[in-house]
Amino acid sequence: MRFNLKVHSETAGVSVLQVEANSAEEAMRHAQSQGHMVFAAEEEKPLSLVGGSLFRRRSKFSLLLFSQQFLALLEAGLNLVGAIEALAEKEAAPEMKAVLTQLLDRLYAGQTCSVAMESLPDAFPLFYVATIRASERSGDMAESLRRFVAYQSQLEGVRKKVVSAMIYPLVLLVVGSLVTLFLLGYVVPKFSKIYEDRATDLPFLSKMLMQWGGIISHHGTEFMTAIVVTVILIIWGAMHPSVRRWLWRSLWATPGIGEKLKLYQLARLYRTLGMLLRGGTTIVGALELVPGLLSPSLRLQLKQGMLLISEGRALSESLYVAGLTTSVSYRMLCVGEQSGRMGEMMERVAAFYDDEIARWIDVFTKVFEPVLMALIGVMVGGVVILMYLPIFELAGNIQ
């Protein structure tokens, strides 16, 4: 669990600190061990449908846009404070301007950039602060920002692929459901009144459909109320954390889909670790920053891996034992350890996972969309045929 602690320290003054812990007491003890005075601790509420992976509630502060503009100004020759002053002066969005103004106030007070950003956790996540802190030690902030922009752009690219692949099937499903509801809720009741006098001559399935139409014509208000209540319950469920957690667990338990969701999260994990390692963060420090990227089950596996590393075992072996690798990625990590280029190798592992997910999405959409269209066509066409079947029989008798 993640806790937001309101703390005071001699360097940063009053600020908000994010800590991963099993309880509020443990989080407070961790902060106090770092020299902070803790005023309050509050558990961070979940904000996403799938563990922070695909559908995140976005902060109004665009970290990617800020990083791109900040990098451009630094490369143009401005110093750190001058670059942020320029961004604050030209910024029109109130939320962005407020964050930049607070950041400037802390820089004017003599804080380093990483410490100033750490006191604004809603805008600057911990791994971003760690990247900036490492760049302060190396003296190459532009390179660190360049790596972050590339990292964030790649993550956004994968997320957009997944979301775009879901849009067309979702549109098909909604349109098909609306057409079916219109037929069953409006057209069928009209036909049931026409066939009311000769219901005994109807085919069995048509008779059942017309009986449904009769029920709807006599209980239309209750039918519409049930539809509205169902829609409200679906919207409420999509917004309620416990329902979203249940949906997340159900997706993870689904064969095939659960494996790809795990690959998606592992890709984010390796890409983030790779960026942090290449920026100069130690492996233990990097691993402490990434649990928030993972689902609860994978967080437990990561904790197991960190324990093995603390016992002196190799990184690749620890992640393999913890179940955070595949056979291919394990071999790639072994090569990275032997060559001493673990950060670069982790980014290659993430790219490998991204390619595998992209291929699966491509195959899934090519198969699922035609199947869904066929099912909707059979459902709508079946209702129409059952309505008109008595008319076809009547026309045959006349001939």
Q: For a pLDDT cut of 90, what percent of the chain falls above it?
A: 1
Instruction: Tell me how far CA of residue 253 lies from CA of 246, 248, 274, 368, in angstroms.
Output: 11, 9, 29, 20
| 152-208 per-position pLDDT tens digit | 887 777 777 777 777 878 888 888 888 887 887 777 777 777 666 554 566 676 777
Angle of helix 220-239 versus helix 204-218 axis, rounded to 10? 90
Residue 25 within a domain: yes
Q: Which domain holds residue 35?
A: 1-44
Q: Please report which helix (H) or strand (E) contains residue 393, including its range.
A: helix 342-398
> Is the pLDDT at 78 greater than 80, yes or no?
yes
Residue 30's pLDDT band (cuts 50, 70, 90): confident
23 lies in some domain: yes
In terms of Cα–Cα distance, which of 171, 162, 193, 148 is closest to 56? 162
More confident residue, 314 or 294: 314
218 within domain boundaries? no
What pLDDT, on a 0 to 100 scale, did the predictor assign at position 50?
A: 35
The encoded tokens of residue 88 equal 């604050």
Residue 30 domain flag:
yes
Gap between the Cα atoms of 365 and 368, Å rounded:
5
pLDDT range class, residue 147, cuts 50, 70, 90: confident
Check: CB of residue 275 under 8 Å from CB of residue 341: no
User: How many structural domains comprise the chain?
Assistant: 1
Q: Which of 257, 244, 300 is nearest to 48 (CA)?
A: 244
Query: What is residue 63's predicted lDDT score, i.e. its pLDDT?
Result: 85
Question: Is position 216 within any domain?
Answer: no
pLDDT surpasses 60 at 49: no
Q: Is the C-alpha dihedral spanning 119, 275, 69, 154 positive or negative?
A: negative
pTM: 0.60
pLDDT tier at 375, thresholds 50, 70, 90: confident
Residue 348 covered by a domain: no
Residues paired with residue 42 on neighbouring β-strands, in sequence order: 4
Lowest mean pLDDT among 8-12, 128-132, 277-281: 8-12
Kindly tell me if the per-residue pLDDT of 46 is higher than 50.
no
Is 240 within the bounds of a domain? no
In a domain, 152, yes or no: no
130 versus 102: which is more confidently predicted? 102
Q: What average pLDDT does the structure give for the chain?
A: 78
pLDDT value of residue 48: 37
